[in-house]
Amino acid sequence: MTPRMQFATLRLLVVTFAVLAQLYLFVRIGQAIQAWPRSDVFKSRAIRIVGLAILVLFVANLYMMLRPIPWVYPPKAAQLFLFYPPAIWTCGSIFSAFFLFLTRGLAGTGRKLAGLYGKWAGRTFSQPLDLGRRRFLRAGMGGLAAAPLVLSGYGAAYASRDYEIRTLTLPFGHPLTVVQLSDIHAGLYMNRQQMRRYADQVTALQPDLFVLTGDYISNSKLFLPGCLEEMARVRTRYGIFATLGNHEHWHENLEQLQANFRKYEIILLQNAHQVIRTEQGRFAVAGIDDLMAGRPDLEATLSSLEAGIPTILLSHRPEIFPQAAARGVSLTLAGHYHGGQIKLSLPGADISLAHLRTRYPEGLYRIAGSHLYVNRGIGTTFTPVRLNAPPEITRFILL
């Protein structure tokens, strides 16, 4: 399956779940409106208004997801009032529909089990109809069903902006300060002002080396030059190094990508490495192409690299880690999974789509003397919502 086919399949699955959620919510809201003690005309108009609102919000978000809008880096007001409401609705509605479907199924199962027990025990369960109690339960269910929408709004307005600076000290074999950013996803939900804030924060950390591990754009190549221009603002001792992610391969050809990186003097490593000589000795920075959408070649990436030289491998996806560790790579830096982006933390386990898909969703891993770090990224994909997975700038103090 080609990268474009993979992307199309993923989008089709997301859109299918979203469409089913809209239909299910419309039916459930319509049923709730029909129970109101109002006239049939009023209820009919209310259902039409609800249906129109759902349709407008969903179609607007679908258009933004499937078709790049040529409004490069819109102002904040446009983000808040034009782009965020449809995205928040679509994300929250999927979880609301799932919650309502699950609770209704559990309630129905409970009633069936009670009926079966009654038949087995020779009893019947009945109680007078309490309209007040029924209205109270419906109101409570409505409030609980709205909770995902509230959380989605919070995840877009606050949690996605509350980034974390994480510092790790690791053995490497060469003293070095490295700062990593990943998954910027420049677009309607990541404008130049936001990227400049991150770039300024990276500069303030005074890195010897600044590395970028893919997915610079969301759904349009129009946003790539501005993203690279902002990242190029960072001042370092040994330069800025980068590798590509799947989104770049989906939306731009390799030759044009390479030309863009050269223009902004960001060193793009495509199955290649560069040795840097310093007063303290030598170290290498290597970069491998995206493991799924690109043409990765670890042998070419590390070819002719002297054994024993401290090496940082940049890979958008972290699954290369076991092979990199076997080749003696000191430190592998990756991203891609956003730490789940929307994550539920339970005692002893984190649950998200990313945590179900990979052994390396976020954080630090080790095989023998080799380390992997998976950055949560600073941007978002499909939806601007982050919950329990804040954006991350990572600083490595290498010894």
pLDDT tens, 274-314? 999 999 999 999 999 999 999 999 999 999 898 889 999 99
* Residue 212 DSSP SS3: strand
User: Which of 88-92, 138-142, 176-180, 232-236 is predicted least confidently?
Assistant: 138-142
- Among 343, 368, 363, 365, which residue's Cα sits nearest to residue 353? 343
Work out the percent of the chain whose per-residue pLDDT is above 90.
Answer: 59
Mean pLDDT value of segment 212-236: 94
Residue 220 to residue 214: CA distance in whole angstroms: 14
Mean pLDDT value of segment 48-54: 94
Residue 15 to residue 9: CA distance in whole angstroms: 10
Instruction: Take residue 224 and report the two structure tokens written for it.
Output: 């790539």
pLDDT tens, 315-363? 999 999 999 999 999 999 999 999 999 998 888 888 998 998 899 999 9
Mean pLDDT for the chain overall: 87
Residue 288 to residue 296: CA distance in whole angstroms: 6
pLDDT tens, 98-107? 888 887 765 5
Q: pTM (2 decimals)?
A: 0.86
CATH of 165-398, one of 3.30.70.980, 3.40.50.1000, 3.30.390.50, 3.60.21.10: 3.60.21.10
Higher pLDDT, 119 or 360: 360
* DSSP 8-state class, residue 164: E
Task: Please check whether residue 208 is in contact with residue 238, taking contact to mean a CB–CB distance below 8 angstroms.
Answer: yes
pLDDT of 261 above 50? yes
Task: Please check whether residue 16 is in contact with residue 62, taking contact to mean a CB–CB distance below 8 angstroms.
Answer: no
Instruction: DSSP for 273-312, please give it.
Output: EEEEEETTEEEEEEEE--TTTS---HHHHHTTPPTT--EE
Task: Please check whether residue 72 is in contact with residue 221, taking contact to mean a CB–CB distance below 8 angstroms.
Answer: no
Higher pLDDT, 80 or 357: 357
**CA angle, 394 then 237 then 369, to 5°:** 50
- Among 266, 86, 281, 272, which residue's Cα sits nearest to residue 175? 281
pLDDT of 73 above 80? no
Task: Please check whether residue 164 is in contact with residue 390, taking contact to mean a CB–CB distance below 8 angstroms.
Answer: yes
pLDDT of 257 above 80? yes
pLDDT of 111 above 60? no
pLDDT of 1 above 60? no
Higher pLDDT, 95 or 172: 172
Residue 60 to residue 38: CA distance in whole angstroms: 31
Higher pLDDT, 310 or 69: 310
Highest mean pLDDT among 88-92, 275-279, 382-386: 275-279
pLDDT of 129 above 70? no
pLDDT at position 136? 47
Pairing label, strands 267-268, 240-243: parallel
pLDDT at position 82? 87
Residue 120 to residue 176: CA distance in whole angstroms: 73
pLDDT at position 173? 93
Task: Please check whether residue 291 is in contact with residue 315, taking contact to mean a CB–CB distance below 8 angstroms.
Answer: yes
Mean pLDDT value of segment 85-102: 87
Could you tell me the CA-to-CA distances from 74 to 88, 89, 233, 384 in Å, in that order? 18, 20, 21, 15
Higher pLDDT, 24 or 71: 24
Could you tell me the CA-to-CA distances from 58 to 44, 74, 88, 282 in Å, in that order? 21, 21, 10, 54
Instruction: Take residue 203 and report the two structure tokens written for it.
Output: 């500069």
Residue 213 to residue 318: CA distance in whole angstroms: 10
Task: State which H helix or E strand residue 198 sits in.
Answer: helix 192-204
Burial 173-185 (b: 16+ CB within 10 A, else e): bbebbbbbbbbbb
Most distant CA pair in the chain: distance in Å?
A: 88
Considering the chain, tell me which residue range(s) the CATH 3.60.21.10 domain(s) occupy.
165-398
